[in-house]
Amino acid sequence: MTHAASPALSQDELKTLVGQAALDYVNEGDIVGVGTGSTVNRFIDALAGIKSRIRGAVSSSEASTARLAALGIAVFDANAVDELPVYIDGADEIDGHGHMVKGGGAALTREKIVAALACRFVCIADESKLVPVLGRFPLPVEVIPMAAHRIARQFAALGGHAALRHKDGAPLVTDNGQHILDVAGLSISDPLAFESQVNQWPGVVTVGVFAHQKASVCLLGTAQGVRTLRF
């Protein structure tokens, strides 16, 4: 299937294009891993068009679960499956090796759990997300609230500046009841080592670097159409 674009397409239209293109990675009878965010919302809308041909989805957030359910797509608990053929999700950044920064929508922990269940991670993104080195987008890190200050100081020692994410005037509370630090000023040249290092800090629930759970494929929305990157 070809998914051509015209130069006039907006960022929203590019999201729709890659959301539809991701259907090529869904097979009859699948339970599909579904991410979170505005690009994934376009994918969920497209998935609704073939819902009678799939078994359902495992969702990475309350928001995606609500959208899937509203469209009549069955949502399975992650504990009900041994593995998933495919996980489809957006990214805040992706590099030329398929390493990503995720968590702009605060769903990074469940996203990493569902990604770990999947044989293949298909990232859907517009071309503004492709970067040479991760770190331009402030890195989301889900933390246990009592550890936030100490973790912020550990990032400062690496040259980062961590800020507690707020929503409606109060610290944002994730689907898991925790907080998010957004860390600006990092340049993540070795994403695998960086992810492993931060994972060991007490109180870190999930770091938004997806190097151990990197993309296998990225469908990138460009003015010329969908560009497929394989890693």
Instruction: Give the catalytic positions in this structure.
Output: 111
- List 210's β-bridge partners, or say none: 100
| Least distance between ligand 5RP and beta carbon 52 (Å) | 26
Cα distances (angstroms) measured from residue 129 to each of 25, 41, 125, 136 = 21, 17, 6, 10
Residue closer to ligand 5RP by CB (options 56, 90) is: 90
Answer for the pair 219, 226: CB distance below 8 angstroms, yes or no: yes
Q: Helix, strand or coil for residue 62? A: helix
| Least distance between ligand 5RP and beta carbon 110 (Å) | 9
Residue closer to ligand 5RP by CB (options 54, 63) is: 63
| Least distance between ligand 5RP and beta carbon 206 (Å) | 10
Residue closer to ligand 5RP by CB (options 55, 227) is: 227
Residue closer to ligand 5RP by CB (options 95, 111) is: 111
Residues that bind ligand 5RP (CB under 6 A): 35-39, 89-92, 102-108, 111
Residue closer to ligand 5RP by CB (options 125, 147) is: 125
- Chain position carrying tokens 């990475």: 60
Nearest to 5 by CA among 231, 188, 226: 226
Residue 101, φ and ψ in degrees, nearest 5: -110, 130
- List 177's β-bridge partners, or say none: none
Answer for the pair 9, 63: CB distance below 8 angstroms, yes or no: no
| Pair of tokens at residue 62 | 């309350």
The DSSP-derived string for 123-159 is EEEEGGGB-SSBTSSPEEEEE-GGGHHHHHHHHHHTT
